[in-house]
Amino acid sequence: MFFVAYVNKNRCVGCKTCERYCPTGAIKVIRGKAIVNWMICIGCGLCVRSCPQQAIRLVPRYMLTPFPWYFPRRTR
Residue 2 or 67 having the CB closest to ligand SF4 = 2
Query: Contact residues for ligand SF4 (CB under 6 A)?
Result: 5, 7, 12-18, 21-22, 24, 26-27, 29, 34, 36, 41-47, 50-51, 53, 55-56
Cα separation, 18 vs 64, in Å, equals 21
Cβ neighbours for 4, distance < 8 A, ≥ 6 positions apart? 36, 38, 41, 43, 58, 59, 60, 61, 64
Minimum CB–partner distance for residue 66 and ligand SF4 (Å): 21
Cα first-last separation, the chain: 39
Between 29 and 61, name the residue whose CB sits nearer to ligand SF4: 29
Based on CB atoms, which residue is closest to ligand SF4, 42 or 61?
42
